[in-house]
Amino acid sequence: MQIATAKWSFAGFITATNAFTVAKFPGVVFLICAGCWTAEALWSLNTLRMIYADFRGRGGSAKGSMASMKAEAGKAATKGAIKGMFNFKK
């Protein structure tokens, strides 16, 4: 059983079905790899779609993060002012 040749170097479903003719184990391995590759491709496309929607379309994440940054800045300023009021030096 020789699998490491040029025709076995692809991770697709057709290669997986061809590998089942050789033996079950390589066929299962190729099938799992093809499924993982497909899932990764779909995940990447979904990620690109979400990024495009956030930065070109609705801008939802930027608005939410700006509000949280303003709130954190207000908390830090208040904390610094209170700490400065009670920091007496001799």
Residue range of the domain that includes 78: 60-90
* Residue 82 and residue 54 share a domain: no
> Are the CB atoms for 1 and 22 separated by under 8 Å?
yes
* Residue 74 and residue 48 share a domain: no
Tokens encoding 51: 């990024």
Tokens encoding 77: 């300023």
Please name which of 40, 33, 39 lies closest in space to residue 16, comparing C-alpha atoms.
Answer: 33
* Residue 67 and residue 53 share a domain: no
Specify the pLDDT at position 21.
Answer: 84
* Residue 17 and residue 7 share a domain: yes
Q: Which residues of the chain have pLDDT under 50?
A: none
* Residue 8 and residue 51 share a domain: yes
Specify the pLDDT at position 43.
Answer: 95
Specify the pLDDT at position 40.
Answer: 94
On whether the pTM is more than 0.75, the answer is no
Tokens encoding 32: 């799992």
